[in-house]
């Protein structure tokens, strides 16, 4: 497992390489070699270039939200959680199978929730 310091080093190396080469020419082995980390360690931290891009965008997002919260005089802990794009969408209300179930008392006239 890569440390936070190693992850930051890999991400910085990736961005430095992107400033010199096209995205297609920047490979995981090149990033690992330039960052002076083992390829296996790099793959455990970031399995793909897209994961590196996502980590970079997450840093930008966090920095922007922190700055906004400071401007509004609100602590960053008051921020509502951001849903990760890989997290499945959650439906509102209780469901059972593919159909919605009735609340206590059967107001919908369907079957009660288990």
User: Which CATH number is 64's domain given?
Assistant: 1.10.357.10
15 Cβ contact list (under 8 Å, min separation 6): 56
Mean pLDDT of the chain: 76
**Assigned domain for 85 exists:** no
Q: Give helix then strand counts, H and E, for the chain.
A: 4, 2
**Assigned domain for 97 exists:** no
**Assigned domain for 98 exists:** no
Q: Answer whether residue 92 shows pLDDT above 50.
A: no
Decide: helix, strand or coil at residue 96.
strand
Domain assignment of residue 13, given as a range: 4-75
**Assigned domain for 59 exists:** yes
pTM, two decimals, is 0.58
Decide: helix, strand or coil at residue 36.
coil
**Assigned domain for 21 exists:** yes
Q: Answer whether residue 29 shows pLDDT above 80.
A: yes
**Assigned domain for 91 exists:** no
**How many domains is the chain partitioned into structurally?**
1
**Assigned domain for 80 exists:** no
**Assigned domain for 83 exists:** no
d(CA 104, CA 46) in angstroms, rounded, equals 47
Mean pLDDT of 21-50: 94
């Amino acid at each position: 497992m890569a440390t936070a310091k190693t992850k930051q080093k890999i991400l910085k190396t990736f961005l430095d390489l992107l400033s010199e080469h096209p995205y297609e020419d920047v490979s995981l082995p090149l990033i690992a070699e330039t960052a002076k980390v083992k390829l296996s360690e790099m793959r455990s931290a970031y399995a793909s270039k897209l994961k590196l891009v996502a980590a970079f965008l997450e840093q930008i997002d966090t920095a922007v939200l922190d700055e906004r919260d400071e401007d509004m005089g609100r602590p960053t802990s008051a921020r509502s959680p951001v849903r990760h794009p890989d997290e499945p969408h959650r439906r509102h209300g209780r469901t059972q199978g593919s159909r919605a179930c009735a609340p206590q008392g059967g107001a919908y006239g369907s079957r009660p929730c288990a």
